[in-house]
């Protein structure tokens, strides 16, 4: 459920016409609905009400500080994967005691930053990282709370590029080595193993893979008690799938129903690192039609947003629903490719898609663009990154200005020697 709705053929975001916002800020731009975001957060949080839990919003899904602040106001923590994301989460006012830090390539300075800020825990991805955290924490005279990211060797039945819990994946430590790793950790003075972490993939549509992997994780937690390691947190990762086009999305209740009985068996706090399910449907990308063209039987709608603005279709072959912002009556549907202006043939927003015939200047809405949308945007082809707008009821706020040409060259410098010739 979301608050992007058509009234008499005109698309609204909450109480405001999307077309009116487009006239003000220009295109392309991302548009977020505050009430949709809040609703998704709350429904997820309530689904796990029965057990002690903490929702750590996965910052890589949408890292705008306004979005993070809106979620902090709902009580959310954060799951960060870099020093930059930690900076954003803190800047947005997220309580450090609700922040977890994952990622397999943390640098020494990122680890020190996390230790200085006293975050809830660091998710460790390798033996060498564990040693480095121990060394840095000891030097700073602190004890680092940690979880070890375990690879449960589970097929999450999702796109291979977003599956992260298979044996051959680069993430985590194989389950078979986990006991030994925790035993090492329990003897290091600079770390305190308090959690187990897993993240098996993204856009997972069925709870089965979670049940299967969490059974293994709960067994591990219980075996660790025997070793004297007191596991207080099980971080089940993220990955709850959502509806983009035709797929059936179950909603958080059904995931909770399957997960709660499994994790209840150990008296732990459950951490949920959810990104997509919280913010995916809370955002759309609004773009304008530049041209219609055809090549043989193939018809193209050229729009002013490209793979540099929304990478998912090009990167994963992801499908996003696309509709006109203002529906024209009585126009035929055509099968088209919706393509961007980038000089790459892989630059498209949709392929072989039925769309009502559009004309130059029409606005299109690309739905479910609130997660992994702006955060994956780039300046490729020297295109300024788009604006971001946040709507709450009948108010709209610019939460990120469109970049300018000056922004594109900020930080660049021509060597003196080149200037003098």
Q: Which positions are catalytic?
A: 343
Task: Supply the DSSP string of 247-292, one letter for each residue.
Answer: PPP--HHHHHHHHHHHHTTS--EEEE---HHHHGGGEEEEEEEEEE
One of 190, 275, 373, 386 touching ligand PLP (CB under 6 A) = 275
Residue from 33, 36, 58, 64 binding ligand PLP (CB under 6 A): 58
Residue in 34, 38, 199, 312 binding ligand PLP, rule: CB under 6 A: 199
The sign of the CA dihedral 40, 262, 122, 105 is negative
Between 68 and 81, whose beta carbon lies closer to ligand PLP?
81
> Applying CB under 6 A, which part among 30-38, 274-282, 297-305, 342-350 lies near ligand PLP?
274-282
- Tell me the CA end-to-end span of the chain in Å, nearest whole number: 62
Q: Which stretch binds ligand PLP (CB under 6 A): 10-18, 267-275, 310-318, 349-357?
A: 267-275
**What's 382's DSSP letter?**
G
> Which lies closer to ligand PLP via its Cβ, residue 134 or residue 198?
198
Size of the site for ligand PLP (CB under 6 A): 18
Q: State yes or no: cis peptide before 28, omega within 30 of 0.
A: yes
Nearer to ligand PLP, 83 or 239 (CB): 239
Q: Which residues contact 222 (CB under 8 A, 6 or more apart)?
A: 265, 266
Which of 21, 25, 55, 102 is close enough to bind ligand PLP by CB under 6 A? 102
Minimum CB–partner distance for residue 60 and ligand PLP (Å):
5
Number of neighbours of residue 271 by Cβ within 10 angstroms: 26
Separation of alpha carbons 149 and 6, rounded Å: 44
Closest CA to 376 of 302, 242, 283: 283
For residue 136, what is the enclosing H or E element?
A: helix 127-140
Among 56-64, 179-187, 391-399, 402-410, the segment contacting ligand PLP (CB under 6 A): 56-64
| Binding residues for ligand PLP restricted to 201-220, rule: CB under 6 A | 202
Burial of 102 (0-12, 13-18, 19+ CB in 10 A): buried
Nearest approach in angstroms of CB 273 to ligand PLP is 4
The stretches of 196-238 forming alpha helices (DSSP H) are: 208-226
From residue 220 to residue 259, the character string flagging contacts with ligand PLP as x (rule: CB under 6 A) and all else as - is -----------------xxxx-------------------
- Closest separation in Å from C-beta 68 to ligand PLP: 14
Q: Binding residue for ligand PLP (CB under 6 A) from 98, 276, 288, 353?
A: 276
126 binds ligand PLP (CB under 6 A): no
What DSSP letter does each residue of 305-324 carry, written as one string?
--TTT--HHHHH-----EEE
Q: How far is the CB of 103 from ligand PLP (least distance, A)?
A: 7
Q: Which is nearer to ligand PLP, 199 or 383 (CB)?
A: 199
Q: Could you list the residues that contact ligand PLP (CB under 6 A)?
A: 58, 60-61, 79, 81, 102, 199, 202, 237-240, 273-277, 371
């Amino acid at each position: 459920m979301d608050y992007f709705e058509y009234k008499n053929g005109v698309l609204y975001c909450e109480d405001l016409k999307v077309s009116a916002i487009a006239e003000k800020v220009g295109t392309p731009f991302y548009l977020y609905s505050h009430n949709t975001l809040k609703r998704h957060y709350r429904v997820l949080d309530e689904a796990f009400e029965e057990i002690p839990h903490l929702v750590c919003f996965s910052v890589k899904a949408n890292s705008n500080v306004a979005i993070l602040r809106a979620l902090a106001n709902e009580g959310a923590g954060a799951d960060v994967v870099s020093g930059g994301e930690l900076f954003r989460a803190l800047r947005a006012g997220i309580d450090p005691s609700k922040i977890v830090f994952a990622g397999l390539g943390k640098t020494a300075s990122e680890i020190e930053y996390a230790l200085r800020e006293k975050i809830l825990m660091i998710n460790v991805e390798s033996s060498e990282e564990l040693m480095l955290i121990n060394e840095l924490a000891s030097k700073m005279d602190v004890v680092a709370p940690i979880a070890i990211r375990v690879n449960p060797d589970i097929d999450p039945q999702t796109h291979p590029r977003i599956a992260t819990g298979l044996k051959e994946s680069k993430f985590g430590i194989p389950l078979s080595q986990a006991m030994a790793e925790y035993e090492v950790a329990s003897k290091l003075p600079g770390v305190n193993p308090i959690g187990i972490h897993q993240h098996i993939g993204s856009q997972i549509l069925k709870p089965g893979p979670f049940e299967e992997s969490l059974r293994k994780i709960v067994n591990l937690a219980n075996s660790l008690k025997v070793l004297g390691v007191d596991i207080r947190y099980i971080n089940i990762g993220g990955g709850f799938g959502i509806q983009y086009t035709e797929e059936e999305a179950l909603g958080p209740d059904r995931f909770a129903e399957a997960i709660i009985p499994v994790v209840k068996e150990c008296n732990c706090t459950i951490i949920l690192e959810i990104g997509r399910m919280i913010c995916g449907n809370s955002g759309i990308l609004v773009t304008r039609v530049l041209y219609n063209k055809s090549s043989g039987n193939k018809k193209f709608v050229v729009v002013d947003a490209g793979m540099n603005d929304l990478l998912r279709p090009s990167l994963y072959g992801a499908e996003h629903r696309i509709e006109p912002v203002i529906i024209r009556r009585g126009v035929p549907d055509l099968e088209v490719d919706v393509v961007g202006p980038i000089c790459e043939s892989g630059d498209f927003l949709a392929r072989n898609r039925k769309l009502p015939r559009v004309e130059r200047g029409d606005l299109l809405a690309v739905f479910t663009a609130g997660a992994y949308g702006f955060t994956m945007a780039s300046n490729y082809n020297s295109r300024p990154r788009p604006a971001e707008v946040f709507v709450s009821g009948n108010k709209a706020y610019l939460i990120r200005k469109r970049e300018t040409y000056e922004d594109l060259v900020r930080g660049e410098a021509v060597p003196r020697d080149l200037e003098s010739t």
